[in-house]
């Protein structure tokens, strides 16, 4: 896998809250029925991005708000993180998770990890949720 630099002892880096930005209808749908859609299902929503496996979130609310505002939405979805979830920590070298993983690689990672977290501060501060059962939507907020 590309740029795969993992860190074993980063539990202290795992956030308690992440934010998802996008189209307002998409945020409402996720709040009401939280799940990770397949790439084909994701393409039905205007803010689905590249159609990659997983749900892109950020531990930086301002980044999620930026994505929402691109779709004329001023809200973000606030999601709690189960501290027993299994994270893969990756230095993306500033590229982002979408750019370094293909869907077949992401699908393989879903077997062992609940999420992938960027450790590069110059990137999008992304956490890609792979398995929805360790995450719970809390609210939609400005």
* Count of domains for the chain: 1
What pLDDT shows up at residue 141? 97
59 occurs within a structural domain: yes
3-state secondary structure of 122: coil
Cβ proximity of 117 and 13 under 8 Å = yes
Q: Is residue 141 part of a domain?
A: no
pLDDT tens, per residue, the chain with 142 residues: 444 444 444 555 788 999 999 999 999 999 999 998 777 776 666 555 567 889 999 999 999 999 999 999 999 999 999 999 999 999 888 888 888 899 899 999 999 999 999 988 777 889 999 999 999 999 999 9
Task: For residue 47, tell me if it sits in a domain.
Answer: yes
Judge whether 134 lies within some domain.
no
Q: Which pLDDT score is estimated for 49? A: 58
Q: Residue 54: inside a domain, yes or no?
A: yes
Domain presence at residue 7:
no
| Pure H helices in the chain | 24-32, 39-42, 61-69, 97-100, 103-109
Looking at the domain assignment, is residue 140 inside a domain?
no
Question: Do β-strands 115-118 and 87-90 pair in parallel, antiparallel, or remain unpaired?
Answer: parallel
Q: What is the pLDDT of residue 122?
A: 74
Instruction: Judge contact between 82 and 56, C-beta under 8 A.
Output: no
* Domain span at 23: 15-128
Cβ burial of 91 (10 Å; 0-12, 13-18, 19+) is middle
Indicate whether 3 belongs to any domain.
no
CA 28 to chain centre: 16
């Amino acid at each position: 896998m590309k740029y795969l630099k993992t860190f074993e002892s980063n539990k202290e880096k795992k956030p308690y809250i992440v934010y998802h930005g996008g189209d307002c209808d998409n945020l409402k749908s996720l709040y009401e029925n939280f799940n990770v859609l397949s790439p084909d299902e994701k393409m039905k929503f205007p803010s689905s991005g590249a159609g990659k496996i997983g749900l892109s979130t950020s531990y930086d609310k301002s980044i999620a708000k930026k994505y929402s505002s691109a779709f004329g939405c001023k809200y973000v979805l606030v999601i709690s993180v189960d501290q027993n979830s299994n994270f893969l920590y990756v230095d993306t070298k500033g590229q982002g998770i979408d750019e370094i993983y293909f869907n077949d690689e992401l699908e393989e990672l879903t077997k062992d990890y609940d999420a992938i977290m960027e450790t590069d501060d110059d990137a999008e501060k992304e956490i890609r949720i792979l398995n929805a059962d360790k995450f719970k939507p809390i609210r939609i907020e400005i």
